[in-house]
Amino acid sequence: MISDLLENNLAWAESKTRKDPDFFHRLVRQQHPDYLWIGCSDSRVPANDIVGLDPGELFVHRNVANLAPAQDANFLSVLQFAVETLKVRHVIVCGHYGCGGVAAAMSGDRHGLIDHWLQPIRDVSDEMASHLLRINDPVQRLNALCEANVAAQVRSVACNPIIHDAWARGQAVTIHGWIYAIENGLICDLDLSVSNRREASQQFPDRLSVWLGAGFGDCAEMCPHTA
């Protein structure tokens, strides 16, 4: 019931104030996050909670399948505000395994309006087709595309004029590619950090396939943190 949410809010606010009397006063006084989070809308991936940050410490943008399209005015507005006004130092693109948006794009079925939004993931799937077809397990194949989608969005952010302008004026902004495992609550760093145009060209010299490793799609092998 909706009334339950209001009661939960009251209990939450009282609990926060009881544990930290200055908590809400700090939030009112300032918002100076060092991080912009570009994540999926999936309700099982609460950005602040999984990285242990309070509100005001993480600027969050979420959409279906954690995309960073250069044609989306909503995303561009968030990116520009985060970089030029808030002066964030890190842009984190965080996908998650088993992403429903990635699965929908991968299925080839029609889902209506969202098909237009998911087209960039289909493009990534086409780019990675030869590699994905070699993965027999459907869960691992989906997870491999979830990782490839993160890589594609890091590439998209790194190619964005807002980021290029920030780098040109000497502003320190680093873009990171992460993926979250809902089954254990752990994040895997996909080792896709980019801090300047030179690193971007080295990280993605031609196609995403250059980035692929033998363990692509298996976070347990790629990242001991989640093993």
Domain boundaries, the chain: 1-30, 31-226
Instruction: For residues 120 and 152, give the distance between their C-alpha atoms in angstroms, rounded to a whole number.
Output: 9
Average pLDDT, stretch 99-106? 96
pLDDT at residue 225 in the model: 42
Looking at the predicted structure, is the pLDDT value of residue 167 above 80? yes
- How far from 28 is each of 55, 62, 97, 102, CA to CA, in Å? 11, 23, 35, 37
107-136 average pLDDT score:
92
Residue 209: is its pLDDT beyond 70? no
pLDDT at position 215 is 45
Average pLDDT over residues 162-178: 97
Residue 51 has pLDDT above 80, yes or no: yes
Do residues 150 and 93 touch, judged by C-beta distance below 8 A? yes
% of the chain residues with pLDDT over 70: 90
- Give the burial string for 152-187 (b: 16+ CB within 10 Å, else e): bbbbbbbbbebbeebbeeeeebebbbbbbbeeeeeb
CATH class, 31-226 region: alpha beta
pTM of the model: 0.88
List the beta bridge partners of residue 189: 178
Q: Which pLDDT does position 220 carry in this prediction? A: 41
- Active site positions, annotated: 40, 42, 44, 96, 99
pLDDT recorded at residue 66: 98
According to DSSP, residue 159 is labeled: T
Buried b (16+ CB within 10 A) or exposed e, 23-40: beeeeeeeeebebbbbbb
Rounded CA separation 62/37 (Å): 8
